[in-house]
Amino acid sequence: MNQKRLYETTFIINAALDDSDIEAVINKVISYIENNGGEITETNKWGRRRLAYPINKKYNGYYVHLVFETKPSAVPILERFLVLEDTILRHLTLILPIKLRDYRAKVAVEQGRTYDSTIYDVDHKLEAKENQKSDTTAEVEEVKVNEQEAIA
């Protein structure tokens, strides 16, 4: 069992923490994985979200998804670390099947983005939506001006 396998883990951090503290917790988990012989392949920060149900009287959490490669013997050690870390509300670690990884890569290519070793941050997605809204607003204003010129 010395062969490395691909795993994914998703954990929820207490959203009441400052952004710097949240980054510190994420870096702590990443360094813990790397110190136990793992390699981080992908880091996805989904950001602050409302929880479906309260966990430890908390209603909001900061979601992080990691894809990493490590030995199977290191996974229980990581899970024990995540349980003992009091800023992490919940976690789930799964083996990432090759078929699922290939499917995600295929979908990413169809959407026009690369999949391998990407860092996907929801905050950038929100900024893109805001930019798109401002572009749409500018187009609407331009149409109104053109309509007013046509009427006059």
Give the residue among 131, 128, 125 at the shortest CA–CA distance from 139: 131
Q: What is the CATH code of the structural domain delimited by 5-117?
A: 3.30.70.60
67, 8 Cβ separation under 8 angstroms: yes
What pLDDT sits at residue 118? 41
Whether pTM > 0.75 for this model: the answer is no
CA terminus-to-terminus distance, the chain: 79
Distance CA 116, CA 108 (A): 9
- All residue ranges of the chain with pLDDT < 70 are 1, 114-150, 152
- The identity of residue 88, as a single letter, is I
